[in-house]
């Protein structure tokens, strides 16, 4: 099928209309502005009451979120940073989950002004990975110690749902021996791809998709139209309801996000909250994760450096803090777009997932293995540290690295995991599985320095686990201690 014919058959209007409310979508710009304008100059008592609601692990309403976005007192922001950190600890404990992005193709039919992949960018070297090339990329990712990936694709007939499904099968099929001879493989694949039909999404469900991630980029419709002048992505509502279709296809783990720097950051935080609310209203399940990438310089994109809405580091920390407080039970992802200093700082206020050893060029991991220069990137990477370097840094901060994929394979997904997160129960399981997968990493991949620091951290974690009543009452101590011993002796992929 040629590109034009493919484009013409992608969007199915009935798979937009079914989610509308009296013909309207859930983003009402006048209402968002009204919430932001009517919740200014609130008392410290009111702000603290809102934080207490977050600390009880309840999602904030629109007025409460707008109130936090309007705080101007820097001392009050310090209290909010502390509250966000405590919310994260209560829900997720001190663990950070890691993943690696795997870019499979950069052909694209869209004209997004901020993106190096856009079809008009002649400076971009276009490529779609073959099965063998995907195997090589996956092999390198495994060599770093990763257990989960997010596969990324441009929007093009050569990377349609069939290609995505086949590439996922290939990734899952790759096996590699670790440094001490243990078999390693990818245990979970998340997908960042263009909006699809319910039928195509069912295909990805069948091959084992983890979380399906689609970012709206900006919820401000005039700006959306301005920065997406042509291509399938120009259809605002087709994208807006991508995750609704995923839910109808049986994919109950979905992920939202906005590209901060395209429009006013406060508006887009509110947009994310309205998106969360509509998913919960229609399906009873909000997003599994929220991402908040910022504009970074992109190949051939003037907008990526000249936007008047560029978010500075100070406001970026505020974005993450408000998101943590507004949806206390949802995972927050900070990517390697950010530099190490920013990531290390923002992790403190509530992030739960990071990438590391990140390469975003097409075929870039294999080129790294062969010490070849990487091609132009879709955007600029700020944190080029290896996985081991980031694990080392986090361990020094008292945070344990997790490669856990247990929840997904035990059926703790969708509304089940959300209920467990809200009650604090899932965090208990996360703590156990973090220790087990961290043990694997220390034995199979860690440098001597990281292993030394990690041993001290894992000893502390085990001491805590053995003194927590939840594990005693639910007869989990014998299980985790047995699994830990077996992993230390060479078994792999044991989880609770």
Is residue 426 a contact partner of residue 496, using CB atoms and an 8 Å limit? no
Same-domain pairing of 304 and 280: yes
Please check whether residues 95 and 233 belong to one and the same domain: yes
* pLDDT above 90 as % of the chain: 84
Is 233 in contact with 157 (CB distance < 8 Å)?
no
Residue 45 resides in a domain:
no
In a domain, 77, yes or no: no
Cβ contacts of 166 within 8 Å, gap of 6 or more: 131
Res 141: pLDDT: 97
Please report whether residue 56 resides in a domain.
no
Query: CB of 450 within 8 A of CB of 388?
Result: yes
In the listed set 350, 381, 409, which residue is the last one of a domain according to the structure? 409
Predicted confidence at residue 125, as pLDDT, reads 86
Measured at the CA of 84, the angle between CA 79 and CA 87, to 5 degrees, comes to: 125
In this structure, what token pair is assigned to residue 307?
């936007």
Residue 66 lies in a domain: no
Q: How many domains would you assign to the chain? A: 2
**Enclosing domain of residue 332:** 3-24+87-409
Give yes or no: residues 456 and 475 share one domain: yes
Is the same domain home to 348 and 469? no
For residue 435, being part of any structural domain is answered with: yes
pLDDT bracket for residue 2 (50, 70, 90):
confident
Angle (nearest 5°) at CA 307 between 306 and 310: 110
DSSP letter (8 states) at residue 15:
H
Residue 419 has pLDDT above 70, yes or no: no
pTM passes above 0.85: yes
- Nearest-angstrom CA–CA distance, 204 and 348: 34
**How does residue 422 score in pLDDT terms, banded at 50, 70 and 90?**
low
**108, pLDDT greater than 90:** yes
Instruction: Give the closest residue to 345 by CA, choosing from 414, 406, 407, 394.
Output: 394
CA nearest to 487, candidates 416, 431, 438, 425? 438
Take residue 199 and report the two structure tokens written for it.
């039928």
Same domain, 357 and 463: no
Write down the H helix ranges in 312-424.
Answer: 313-326, 340-346, 364-369, 387-396, 406-409, 414-423
- In this structure, the answer to whether residues 93 and 180 fall within a common structural domain is yes
For residue 377, name the pLDDT band (cuts at 50, 70, 90): low
Same domain, 461 and 436: yes
146-189 residue pLDDT tens: 999 999 999 999 999 999 999 999 999 999 999 899 999 999 99
Say whether both 260 and 369 belong to one domain. yes
Cβ atoms within 10 A of the Cβ of 133, count? 18
Mean pLDDT to the nearest integer, 394-420:
76
Pair 250, 319 in one domain: yes
Region 446-451: mean pLDDT is 97
What CATH number is given to the structural domain containing 11? 3.20.20.70
362 and 267 in a single domain? The answer is: yes
Residue 412 has a pLDDT of 56
pLDDT at 37 over 70: yes
Query: Is 390 found in the same domain as 444?
Result: no
């Amino acid at each position: 099928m040629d590109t034009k014919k493919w484009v013409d058959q992608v969007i199915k209007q009935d798979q937009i209309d079914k989610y509308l409310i009296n013909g309207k979508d859930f983003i009402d710009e006048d209402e968002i502005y009204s919430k932001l304008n009517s919740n200014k100059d609130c008392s410290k008592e009111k702000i603290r009451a809102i934080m207490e609601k977050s600390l009880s692990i309840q999602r904030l309403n629109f007025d409460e979120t707008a109130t936090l976005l309007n705080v101007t007192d820097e001392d009050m922001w310090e209290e909010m940073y502390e509250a966000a950190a405590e919310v994260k600890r209560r829900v997720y404990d001190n663990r950070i989950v890691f993943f690696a992005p795997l870019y499979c193709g950069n052909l694209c039919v869209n004209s997004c002004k901020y993106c190096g992949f856009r079809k008009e960018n002649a400076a971009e070297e276009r490529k779609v990975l073959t099965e063998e090339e995907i195997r090589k990329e996956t092999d390198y990712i495994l060599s770093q110690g990763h257990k989960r990936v997010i596969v990324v694709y441009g929007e093009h007939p050569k990377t349609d749902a069939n290609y995505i499904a086949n590439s996922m099968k290939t990734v899952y099929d790759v096996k590699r021996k670790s440094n001490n001879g243990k078999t390693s493989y990818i245990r979970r694949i998340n997908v960042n791809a263009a909006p699809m039909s319910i039928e195509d999404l069912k295909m990805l469900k069948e091959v084992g998709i983890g979380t399906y991630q689609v970012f709206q980029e900006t919820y401000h419709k005039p700006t959306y139209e301005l920065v997406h002048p042509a291509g399938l992505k120009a259809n605002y509502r087709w994208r807006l309801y991508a995750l609704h279709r995923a839910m109808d296809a049986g994919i109950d783990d979905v992920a939202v996000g906005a590209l901060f720097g395209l429009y006013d950051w406060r508006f887009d935080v509110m947009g994310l909250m309205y998106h969360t609310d509509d998913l919960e209203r229609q399906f009873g399940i909000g997003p599994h994760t929220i991402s908040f990438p910022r504009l970074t310089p992109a190949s051939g994109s003037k907008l990526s450096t000249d936007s008047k809405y560029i978010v500075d580091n100070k406001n970026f920390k505020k974005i993450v803090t408000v998101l943590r407080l507004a949806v206390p039970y949802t995972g927050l992802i900070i990517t390697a777009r950010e530099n190490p200093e920013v990531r290390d700082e923002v992790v403190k206020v509530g992030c739960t997932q990071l990438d590391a050893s990140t390469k975003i060029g097409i075929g870039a991991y294999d080129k790294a293995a062969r010490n070849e220069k990487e091609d132009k990137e879709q955007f600029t990477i700020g944190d080029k540290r290896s996985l081991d370097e980031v694990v080392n840094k986090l361990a020094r901060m008292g945070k344990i690295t997790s490669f856990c994929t247990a929840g997904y394979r035990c059926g703790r997904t969708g509304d089940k995991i959300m209920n467990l997160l809200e009650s604090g129960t899932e965090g208990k399981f996360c703590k156990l599985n973090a220790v087990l997968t961290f043990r694997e990493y220390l034995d199979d991949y860690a440098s001597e320095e990281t292993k030394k620091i990690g041993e001290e951290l894992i000893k502390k974690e085990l001491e805590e686990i053995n003194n927590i009543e939840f594990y005693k009452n639910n007869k989990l101590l014998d299980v985790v201690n047995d699994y830990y011993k077996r992993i230390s002796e060479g078994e792999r992929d044991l989880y609770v």
